[in-house]
Chains A and B, each alone.
Chain A
Amino acid sequence: MPSAQEIKQRIEAAIPGSHAEVEDYTGGGDHFRAIVTADAFAGLSRIQQHRLVYDVFGDEVGGPIHALALKTQAHAPIPTP
């Protein structure tokens, strides 16, 4: 059963230059909320940003991690077309 701290460390280790704030919002070790900021998100759509984070956990999301609510943002502003 992962802790919020473990989720944070795994995200930050897997996505270079990222910063994650993770909360276990039920206290049960299976529902998390994360705000992730990373240079790697620059220029990516929200879908792509969230996929980068989900990819850190693979099948664990939807398995032992029932929910991982995400808010992602790039450090640099995303250029608008």
Chain B
Amino acid sequence: MSASELPQIPMLQNEPAAAQAPAQGEPNEIRDAIEAAIREHRVILFMKGSPEAPACGFSARTVAALQDLEVPFAAVDILPDPRIRQELSAISQWPTIPQLFVGGELIGGCDIVMEMYESGELADALS
């Protein structure tokens, strides 16, 4: 099983990183796109790399837990543009990656997800 749906964060396709950081007061398209993705996908994981090729052990463990529960989830790779991570952490008030959201709420990073996976709470939260 893999991520069934890949949300597109606009401005990241074929755009050089940091080419157009929004000026003060201008609409922030990256932040808007992240917020929309969180709203529109019930289970969404922001991670380093992809579910097929995680680029960090914490992301890999989180993906493995979700895949073990056979829950479809959307995944966003935060690595292509440093602004994704900046904006994500500003929205979530959470400093590290991965970050799992369910129903628009931050569930946690790798530690919390793994604790919940082992206790069975994750299956409940995702059902």
Residues of A with Cβ closer than 8 Å to B? Answer: 46-47, 50-51, 54, 57, 59, 61-62, 67-71
Contacts and interface: CB of A to CB of B under 8 A. Distances in A.
A50 B58 contact: no
20 contacts: A46-B108, A47-B94, A47-B106, A47-B112, A50-B109, A50-B111, A50-B112, A51-B94, A54-B94, A62-B85, A62-B89, A62-B96, A62-B97, A67-B58, A67-B96, A68-B96, A69-B58, A69-B110, A71-B111, A71-B115
Interface residues of B, number: 16
Contacts of A51: 93-94
A50 B108 contact: yes
A70 B89 contact: no
A69 B95 contact: no
Given A51-B94, A69-B110, 19 more contacts: A46-B108, A46-B112, A46-B115, A47-B94, A47-B106, A47-B107, A47-B108, A47-B112, A50-B108, A50-B111, A54-B96, A57-B95, A59-B95, A61-B95, A61-B96, A62-B96, A62-B97, A67-B96, A68-B96
Interface in B70-127: 85, 89, 93-97, 106-112, 115
Contacts of B107: 47
Contacts of B89: 62
Majority SS of interface residues in chain B?
mixed
> Which of B95, B110, B112 has the most A CB atoms < 10 Å from its CB?
B95
Contacts of A67: 58, 96
Contact of A54 (B58, B95, B115): B95
Nearest to B86: A62
A56 B123 CA distance: 31
A59 B93 CA distance: 11
